[in-house]
Amino acid sequence: MLVESEGTIAGIRRCVSGIRAEGGAVGLVPTMGALHEGHLSLVRAARQRGDEVVVSIFVNPAQFGPGEDFERYPRSLEADLELCRRNDVFAIFTPDVREMYPVASLTRIHVAGLTEGLCGAHRPGHFDGVALVVGKLFNIVQPDRAYFGQKDAQQAAVVKRMVADLNWPIEIVVCPTVREADGLAMSSRNRYLSPQEREQAAVIYRALLRARQMFAAGEREAQAITAAVAQIIRDSGPWTIDYVAAVDPDSMRPMTQVSSPALVAAAVRIGHTRLIDNLIL
Amino acid sequence: MLVESEGTIAGIRRCVSGIRAEGGAVGLVPTMGALHEGHLSLVRAARQRGDEVVVSIFVNPAQFGPGEDFERYPRSLEADLELCRRNDVFAIFTPDVREMYPVASLTRIHVAGLTEGLCGAHRPGHFDGVALVVGKLFNIVQPDRAYFGQKDAQQAAVVKRMVADLNWPIEIVVCPTVREADGLAMSSRNRYLSPQEREQAAVIYRALLRARQMFAAGEREAQAITAAVAQIIRDSGPWTIDYVAAVDPDSMRPMTQVSSPALVAAAVRIGHTRLIDNLIL
């Protein structure tokens, strides 16, 4: 029962009005396409809540830095549409860059504090770009709920804080990370990996599990835990570790002594592919 | 038929739901209270458009700088409520600071370009504070239209741009400046003026009229026009001129050669009272 994909803001607003006119609630799943089981788990979570689901597919240039992978980011619109059809998505919003940014945005949304560490430190401006496009999508679709993956934990924290600070009448639902059989977190960027890298990339999750094990065994020194995680990754290949950190899951503030709940997060470059993952302790 | 004043976000949302349930459109008039004929002209414009009117009254600390007049800004809630009642306002939203900022906002909305000159240059952070509270009010009230006065021309331009950039589904209506008999633009801050200052303050409008006269007579040099305006103000008393400028009304970019439409704007300190005014050429 998929309403056909809508490339225009006016079009998706008409779709949403249709849902509302029939008394339905709207769940937004914002994506950059190249859909995988992680995205589909968000769709299913929204359906289970009773929402009619709008999936947005937009590779947002504002959240990519110079030299990052905006140009080569995987695009697979036909396959994405088919996955949406099979998963009972109501409407797909597929704007192009001109529809979203008819002129360059002079307006910037910045969430201080939460965006300075972790990925924010390694991708300057990234979270401003995320906040901008998410704010735009919220105002375009006006959903009742919006669904994000725990894999992008810092993004989820930034969006939650932005929604609270700006009083958007939208519930943010964060869904568990979906993993491959060997534990690798699902990501569109996994498509970049060579078969060998793909196999090796599972080390990130294995290393994070070590953090969980240490915490369960009573270790509370953040430094000891993150060093052990980093060592496991380093021992497995010539990878560049952007960070391994233990932070408060809401404020993203680094912890010295780890107390529950804590987020242990890592960003690692496997070859040319930057992957992130995390676990809650 | 005034619904009583609502101090809570939940309360005003219920009011607005009530309007919507009866098929009504919502017009928001955001104010800092100390209501005068300028505010009431916004209410009347909204009523003429057929909107049910929500007036927000909130002296927003985020838009005042250190040493500015946040503490002494005039508060006259009882008189404001009476004016709203007489002018067919549907609901008044009167949150306190804790309701609007239960914790300090980490989220900042910045509109680049438009906020660097004029009042932005003299009141650092002011327009970020305005953008923040207006964004919050938009998400709390979710109006169909929001009404602003042309007297605060830079504010109106900032809000319009923010709404366009972030796709808020809200029409921004800018209404003409309402003036006293001698031409002084209505402002809550006029209450600060001593009787003598009040009389002298009319020079700002008289000086701006000189700009209009010069433009009508063919003068196109911005420098000549703004210098003449400033000279008239300077000749009338020991006032501090923050700026007199000719700018593009949308981008707020300074003009060298004045072409229509142009905004000639001035900010002048009459004693301890900072007043602003402008005319469109």
Q: Indicate the residue among B118, B141, B175 that finishes a domain.
A: B175
With CB atoms and an 8 Å threshold, state whether B166 touches A107. Answer: yes
Output the domain CATH number for residue A245.
3.30.1300.10
Domain boundary pick from A147, A175, A203: A175
Across residues B67-76, what is the average pLDDT? 94
For all residues of chain B together, what is the average pLDDT?
97
- Residues 74-113 of chain A with CB under 8 A from chain B are 105-113
The verdict on B147 touching A (C-beta cutoff 8 Å) is: no
Same domain, B146 and B276: no
Residue B224 to residue B22: CA distance in whole angstroms: 55
Residues whose CB is less than 8 angstroms from the CB of residue B124 and which lie 6 or more positions away in sequence, other chains included: B65
How far separated are the first and last CA of chain A, in Å rounded? 40
User: Is residue B2 very low, low, confident or very high in pLDDT (cuts 50, 70, 90)?
Assistant: low
Question: Which residues, other chains included, contact B215 with Cβ-Cβ below 8 Å and sequence gap of 6+?
Answer: B225, B258, B260, B262, B281
> B102 in a domain, yes or no?
yes
pLDDT of residue B4: 74
Average of per-residue pLDDT across A122-147: 98
Give a yes or no: residue B3 inside a domain. Answer: no
pLDDT digits (tens, 9 = 90+) for A195-243: 999 999 999 999 999 999 999 999 999 999 999 999 999 999 999 999 9
Q: Do B69 and B38 lie in a common domain? A: yes
CB A266 within 8 Å of CB A241: yes
pTM of the model as a whole: 0.97
In angstroms, the CA B276 to CA B149 distance is 12
- Same domain for B44 and B120, yes or no, is yes
> Looking at chain B, which residue has its C-alpha nearest residue A133?
B166
**Could you tell me the two tokens for B157?**
């331009």
B260 in contact with chain A, both atoms CB, cutoff 8 A: no
Domain that holds residue A105: 9-175
Nearest-CA residue of chain B relative to A162? B107
d(CA A96, CA A117): 31
Query: One-letter amino acid identity for A150?
Result: Q
Q: Which residues of A are catalytic?
A: 39
User: Are A34 and A80 members of one domain?
Assistant: yes
Number of domains in chain B: 2
**B93 inside domain:** yes
* 3-state SS, residue B268: strand
B8 part of contact set with chain A, CB < 8 Å: no
Is residue A98 located within the same domain as residue A217?
A: no
A252 and A168 together in one domain: no
Q: Which residue among A105, A113, A161 places its CB closest to the CB of B165?
A: A105
The answer to whether residues B92 and B221 belong to one domain is no
CATH number at residue B153: 3.40.50.620
Q: Is residue A93 part of a domain?
A: yes
At A61-105, the pLDDT tens digits run 999 999 999 999 999 999 999 999 999 999 999 999 999 999 999
* pLDDT higher than 70, residue B274: yes
Q: What is the pLDDT of residue A4?
A: 74
- How are strands ordered across the β-sheet holding A263-270? A240-247, A263-270, A273-280
A245: left (phi over 0), alpha (psi -120 to 50) or beta: beta
For residues A277 and A265, the answer to whether their CB atoms sit within 8 Å is yes
What number is the average pLDDT over the span B9-34? 96
Considering the domain architecture, whether residues B23 and B120 belong to the same structural domain is answered as yes
Q: Is the ipTM of this complex over 0.90?
A: yes
Gap between the Cα atoms of A278 and A264, Å rounded: 5
Quick check: B204 contacting A, CB < 8 Å? no
Q: What confidence score (pLDDT) does residue A72 get?
A: 94
pLDDT at residue B199, rounded to an integer: 97
